[in-house]
A and B are shown apart, each in its own frame.
Chain A
Amino acid sequence: MDLAIETNGLTKKYGSLTAVNRLDLRVKRKTIHGFLGPNGAGKTTTIKILVGLLKPNEGTVRVLGQELHGDKTAGFLNSFYEQADSRLSIGYMPELPKFPKHLKGSELLDIYGQMYGMTQQHRNEQIPKLIELVGLKGRENDLIGKYSKGMQQRIGIAQTLLNNPELVILDEPSLGLDPVGMVEVREVVKEIAKEGRTVLVSSHLLFEVEQICTDVTIINRGTALVSDTLQRVSGLIEGPAMLHVEVAKTSDKIVNAVKKLPSVTSVVQTGNTLRIQMKTHEDTRAQVSQEITMSGGIIIGMSQKTSNLEDVFIQLIHKDQGEKPR
């Protein structure tokens, strides 16, 4: 498997607290990988190890094929230089990023671009595009000290993409953004991935991950509980399905007919809507539809709610903590 990120037995301790506990993380290339977990699960600590801000106590880290931290064969100074080089292909946006307030937005991108070794010409071409992409056109010559939290988040995304990275790591990219900004960020993330990059997104917004990610890892107490494609992870829970049926005109006859179906547990009528609790997770829409029609009902709409990422997340976390899911 072609991996962009691979950790084996990654462990990070702060005194007696184990923030990351033998984490095996695998992020396939050219995927959008959601990194989920409750607060304090070890997401940010893991990411900081991946970008070289923290050193692990144990385990190995390989980013874009290059081993970090544990390379004993390279000399002391050489190893140090190499680790800086490993960041040439990584774009990273920290959680609630802070940038020097004395710099203008365009100056920040220009200086960071220079740190990536970009030529002046390349920077002059790239920076206006990024400013436009993140919606900061017209404000690029303002000091960052005058930027709102949302604008700082936007310049944070722009600096992430400066070097045309192979791997983009976003730590809570929507934090602090208004709903419009959140939608825009999701669109930007999708755009980033379209260009063949690998994106690792840490987020506590499950609907956001569901909308943009192809793969997911859920961690708790520093350990991966599950890691797979979003589809497989979402399908981990196969509880009974719930049908929502909107009927033109409901009647007791229709309700009783549906209740008599062997696969139905209960039916609750609210106005013209029937909420039908099934006994299994299987798709029984055809059966229910037939019964309603035969009883003289006209179906306007029907949807089946199956388990989603949120259900899986909550169940896994509660299970890991030895609690019963609510």
Chain B
Amino acid sequence: MNTRTSTRRRRPSWFIRFWAVVRYEMLWNIRKKKFLGLVIVAFALATLIWVLPIVSSNATDQPIEADPDFAVNFAIPGIGLFLFALITAMNSFSSEFESGTVVPLLTKPVSRTMVFLGKLLAALIIILFTYTILFVYGIIGGTLVYGSQNNLHLVPIGLFGNILSTFLWVAIIIAAGTLSKSTIISALVAFGLFFGLLFAVQIISVLAGPSPILNYVPGSGASGKMMTPQGQIDIGAGTDNIGVNMINYVLYPSANVDFNMTRIELQGNQPLITQVFAYSEPISLITSRSVVTTIVYTIVFLFIAWIAFKWAQILE
């Protein structure tokens, strides 16, 4: 590089600059009204999980049945993962373009890659922090209601799985946001994709059976049943169920999951609906496939988002 008249200052630590971006983004996230609203709703629902049995027990005079596996089965449902991803990531990039705040931000000595990674890390920290509090809250409440819990050491694995599942949606939403530079478009794309895939998976499952291809798209995937010494467990083989499936894999490493297909036959004039065995897969395969699928999708969408952000020209 030509430094004919070099006036360059000493390069400050990249970490200080990077952390400034993380701070900038985190303050934005935690002050969003919709984020605070979602957290309140999530805590209200987590409270209901252990308050309802108490209310029911008091109403029926029946004692609450102990459930030592409540903690390891505690997970955020697919719609919850999606909403957390949406609220955290929806405005992250698109809103910067829409409001014009991207101009002063990108004229500071932080590279676009630094801004991109800083915003991602902020989203990760916010989600990790919120989920951890939510899990701890839910599990303490569950323990008080359902008695002492088994395998509490596996809860962090469930937490990790839930974050991984959320980050796939984060990546999709950020990619839509950086490509469109529009919050509305990124939200519509995300909602369309989430609900489109949700309904598509259900329709395909009924019409064509639990096709393995369903497990390669983001979402709940094919539904099956796994036999364990404690009884039958419902298993979702998609990317939204990584947390629970990882725990199930640790607890029952050699278990198989059976997938059935719905068969509709006409007997006389009456339709007869039966469940027919379709195929079986080990839980190890289901878990590893959903983890790999999630990671691949996340990387691909984040790469698209990074390229779009890096090359975006700031016209307004």
Contact = CB atoms under 8 A, between A and B. Distances in A.
Interface of A: 2-3, 14, 48, 51-55, 62, 64-67, 71, 73-74, 77, 80-90, 92, 94, 96-103, 107, 111-112, 114-118, 156, 159, 166
B12 A166 contact: no
A64 B5 contact: yes
A89 B107 contact: no
Contacts, number: 130
A103 B106 CA distance: 17
Contact of B108 (A55, A80, A82, A115): A115
**Interface on chain B toward A: helix, strand, loop, or mixed SS?**
loop
A225 B315 CA distance: 24
A293 B139 CA distance: 102
A234 B37 CA distance: 61
B5 A54 contact: no
A65 B4 contact: yes
Given A84-B110, A86-B109, A117-B11, 7 more contacts: A62-B4, A67-B2, A86-B8, A88-B9, A115-B108, A116-B109, A156-B104
Given A53-B106, A116-B12, A117-B17, A98 B111 contact: no
Contact of B313 (A55, A71, A74, A94): A55
Contacts of B108: 87, 112, 115-116
B219 to A, nearest CB: 32
A52 B107 contact: yes
B113 interface: yes
Contacts of A86: 8, 109
B201 to A, nearest CB: 37
B149 to A, nearest CB: 39
Interface string B1-18: 111111111011100110
18 contacts: A54-B314, A66-B6, A66-B7, A82-B1, A85-B11, A94-B104, A99-B101, A100-B28, A102-B32, A103-B24, A107-B27, A111-B23, A111-B24, A111-B27, A115-B108, A116-B109, A117-B12, A166-B7
Contacts of A14: 315
A92 B1 CA distance: 24
